Amino acid sequence: MKGILFKPWKIKAIAASSPDFEWQTRRLSGLKEINTCPDRWQSQKWGTDYKGRMVFAFFNGYNTIQIKPRYQVGEVVYIKEAWEIEQIDGVMAEISYASDIYGKDNHDVYIADKKLPQYLDKIQPTLFMPEWAARYFIKITDVRPERLQEITEEDAIAEGIVPKWS
């Protein structure tokens, strides 16, 4: 299972929101060449490759680039966050998370066959969080190519932006 990175404020907002709320996030991975001169490229088509994975094709009149998004529709991913093991008790470990600014929301995990003393009382970086230490999981419901300049007000709110007038 893959992990996904978010800022701590967004992790808290995702955890606090209702299950019906659909969050959005924009990822620029795989678009390095296209982003150097975005006006020269256009989205030609999107579909699936021979393995059933989503693929986007961009065309500039001469070249075509195919990009496979990192996350696929229907995939469940875990949210990576900074964490530490506070105590180990027999076959259970208590994990706390750095994004818990307003009090602790400890999470107990079963630790069979895991060598955890190396993690004890040391904050572990977000990037290296293993799946077994995660507490939040999300399902990818849509993947599409979209120009950042075409963002709507509704999309910005779904990204976590709070309007100044609200």
Residue 108's pLDDT is what? 67
- Output the DSSP codes for 63-117: -EEEE--SS-TT-EEEEE--EEEEEEETTEEEEEETT-TTS---EEEE-TT---G
For 118-133, the pLDDT digits (tens) are 677 788 889 989 898 8
Residue 3's pLDDT is what? 94
Residue 34: which of 66, 9, 1 has the closest Cα? Answer: 66
Residue 16's pLDDT is what? 80
For 61-118, the pLDDT digits (tens) are 888 888 888 888 889 999 999 888 877 776 777 888 877 755 556 666 666 656 666 6
- The mean pLDDT value for 152-163 works out to 80
- The mean pLDDT value for 44-48 works out to 75
